[in-house]
Amino acid sequence: MTEDAKQDGVIRHDWSVDEIASLYRLPLLELVGRANAVHRQYHDPNRVQKASLLSIKTGGCPENCAYCPQSAHHREVDLTRDLLMEPQKVLAMAATAKAAGAERFCMGAAWRQVRDGKEFDAVIEMVEGVRRLDMEACVTLGMLKPHQAERLANAGLTAYNHNLDTSPEFYSRIITTRTYQDRLETLSTVRATGVELCSGGIIGMGESIRDRAAMLQVLAGFAPHPESVPINALVPVEGTPLAKRERIDPLELVRMVATARLVMPQSTVRLSAGRSSLTREAQILCLMAGANSIFYGDTLLTTPNAGIGEDAELLAAIGPVNDDAEQASAA
């Protein structure tokens, strides 16, 4: 074991970007091996949490995130805008997701920020309803004020998703309608309520390895680390400024997951968007490298996901996971 590897698994908040970039660039087998050892130290290697996503309010967002099909700035995108869904309909979908094995239900609204009023009241009702189903509830609603975060906390919200997306340096190449600082402030507003943080980012937008490392450095600088770290690979959507970006090499995703695992040993690392273009084997490598959750269901928010059938096959091929009879009998 190298001297560096002996320190693996220590919880730190003082990583340098250089240190993180060096981990990312390790020989792949060394990187995955070390990440797997840390993963096994803190997590059950046979557990893969299934989370389901639902877009509760689709499209027409005033922000200009270059990757996002829901931005009103990208007029060429073929997407039907929708008003906020009725809580009853959302809760029926949550119940269906639970019946399919999802433990967590994540609801996304294409808002720049939360506004008080009927729509927010309806979101509170959704959160309460998901918790009554005995599922974890996560929402992603854009920026929010302390009293709004408190209301979500009182409704029983498990986690708030708010991604940093990329490094502070690369950020303005992707989004100009809000700042990195806005993002950090929302995260600290959520943290103050005791609701868990879900924050991660996207690779494959033209950023460098240093940018990827710099994003992880900011995340790992939080004390405690975000409980949940989604790692997305860009899904290039026709009509967005990033539509023509080539899909990243799946091994870059493996490296990103492994590096996230090494710098945030206790966090749940979620293998998020981009999974539908990965082979079964590449997904398994990501799980070996430290991912412990997948988004389960036929769609992410607006783009296709690996289907439930394919995922059932993936999980069955791995063998019984989650220690439950449902998976064992599907195998």
Q: By CB under 6 A, name the binding residues for ligand SAM.
A: 67-68, 70, 108, 110-111, 140, 142, 162-163, 165, 202, 232, 234-235, 237, 273, 301
**Judged by CB, which is closer to ligand DTB: 272, or 327?**
272
Would you call 61 a catalytic residue per the annotation? yes
H/E segment holding residue 126? helix 118-132
Q: In whole angstroms, how close is the CB of 227 to ligand DTB at the nearest point?
A: 14
Q: Are 139 and 161 in contact (CB under 8 A)?
A: yes
Q: Which two tokens stand for residue 318?
A: 């791995």
Would you call 286 a catalytic residue per the annotation? no
Query: Rounded to 5 degrees, what angle do the CA atoms 185, 187, 189 make?
Result: 70
Say which of 178, 183, 270, 275 is annotated catalytic: 270
Among ligand SF4, ligand DTB, ligand SAM, none, partner that 289 touches (CB below 5 to 8 angstroms by kind): none
* One residue of 110, 141, 197, 203 binding ligand SF4 per CB under 6 A: 110
> For residues 63 and 72, what is the distance between their CA atoms, to the nearest angstrom?
7
Would you call 198 a catalytic residue per the annotation? yes
**Judged by CB, which is closer to ligand DTB: 303, or 322?**
303
> For residues 285 and 273, what is the distance between their CA atoms, to the nearest angstrom?
16
Strand partners, 138: 106, 159
> For residues 220 and 227, what is the distance between their CA atoms, to the nearest angstrom?
11
Among ligand SF4, ligand SAM, ligand DTB, none, partner that 162 touches (CB below 5 to 8 angstroms by kind): ligand SAM
x/- map, 33-52, ligand DTB, by CB under 6 A: --------------------
> For residues 328 and 320, what is the distance between their CA atoms, to the nearest angstrom?
5
x/- map, 156-195, ligand DTB, by CB under 6 A: -----x-x--------------------------------
The amino acid occupying position 27 is P
H/E segment holding residue 249? none
Query: Rounded to 5 degrees, what angle do the CA atoms 267, 270, 275 make?
Result: 160
Report the half-sphere exposure of 273 (CA within 13 A, side-chain side).
23
**Judged by CB, which is closer to ligand DTB: 21, or 242?**
242
H/E segment holding residue 107? strand 104-109
Count of residues making up the chain: 331
Which residues have a catalytic role annotated? 61, 65, 68, 106, 138, 198, 270
Q: Which residues bind ligand SF4 (CB under 6 A)?
A: 61, 63, 65, 68, 70-71, 110, 142
| Residue set of the binding site | 61, 65, 68, 106, 138, 198, 270
Q: Which residues bind ligand DTB (CB under 6 A)?
A: 53, 69, 106, 108, 140, 161, 163, 200, 230, 232, 235, 272-273, 300-303
